[in-house]
Each structure stands twice: as C-alpha cells, then as structure tokens.
Amino acid sequence: MYFERQEQYGSEGLVITRESLAKTISSQIDSNVNRSYEIVNQIISFMRESLYSGKPVKISLFGVFTVQTKKEMCSVNPKTREMVKVPTRRVLRFKPSMHLKRQINRKVVLFSRPDAPRR
C-alpha cells in the first residue's frame, strides 16, 4: 500500500501519521478524507479500549497485541548501584502472525545472493 509522501523516518523507522493513513485509505476506496480519518480514529480507539481492559487485539494475518503484567522486582540503579524496587507494571506486547513472519522472510530471500546456500 502506498502512503502519502508525508511519511517520516524517525530513529525507530517509518512513522505513519493518522492523516497520511486516512488519505491513503480514502484514495484506495474513493472516500472522503474526513470520513476515513474518523474511521482510523475509531479503530485506534477500539483497540486502545480493548487493551486498557486487558483484552487482546488480534488482527488477522498481522498479529496479536496483548497486555501483560510484570511482577514487582528488585533491580540495581546503574548510577548509584543502589537496590531499588521496580513496581508491578503492565506492558504491551506484540506477537506477529506466521503469515507476517513469512512475508518478511520472503522479502529477505529476494535480496539474497543466488549462489548462497539455502537454510
């Protein structure tokens, strides 16, 4: 899918804004940009609410977002070398689907040398 040229590359890779996503969707389905923006916001809100309540969000052929609870633990502050308690916290995890993994690995194979041994 082609994204509008408003895409940016940050230190963490490609950054897609809601606006560029809405423009891309509206051009793909011949819809109003404002309506596409509302749809993007609704999808993100739905995902956020599900994750807040602890429910996983599965996107077919893409992967699963889950919230996991990390237990309280003791750790060492690297500056002061002092023992500190890290409180219980919730973390967001993403597990890609096998389909997505295969697609990503297929891309890598396309750019490998033809004489390279296969794994």
Whether residues 2 and 43 share a domain: the answer is: yes
Whether residues 76 and 106 share a domain: the answer is: yes
Question: What residue has token string 């890290």?
Answer: 86
Domain-embedded: residue 118: no
Pseudo-torsion of CA 18, 24, 25, 30, nearest 10°? Answer: 140
Whether residues 71 and 103 share a domain: the answer is: yes
Domain-embedded: residue 39: yes
Alpha helices in 14-53 (DSSP H): 18-29, 33-52
Domain-embedded: residue 117: no
Whether residues 63 and 94 share a domain: the answer is: yes
What mean pLDDT comes out for the span 93-114? 77
Give me the pLDDT at residue 107, please: 63
Domain-embedded: residue 65: yes
Whether residues 15 and 45 share a domain: the answer is: yes
Whether residues 82 and 108 share a domain: the answer is: yes
Predicted confidence (pLDDT) at residue 12 exceeds the cutoff of 80: no
Domain-embedded: residue 20: yes
Whether residues 70 and 45 share a domain: the answer is: no
Give me the pLDDT at residue 13, please: 78
Domain-embedded: residue 60: yes
Whether residues 49 and 71 share a domain: the answer is: no
Q: What residues make up the domain containing 33?
A: 1-53
- Minimal CA–CA distance to 40: which of 18, 65, 57, 23? 18
* pLDDT 10s digits, 31-86: 899 999 999 999 999 999 999 999 999 999 999 999 999 999 999 999 999 999 99
Number of domains in the chain: 2
What mean pLDDT comes out for the span 94-113? 77
Q: How far apart are CA 91 and CA 96, in angstroms?
A: 16
Q: Among 53, 70, 91, where does a domain finish?
A: 53
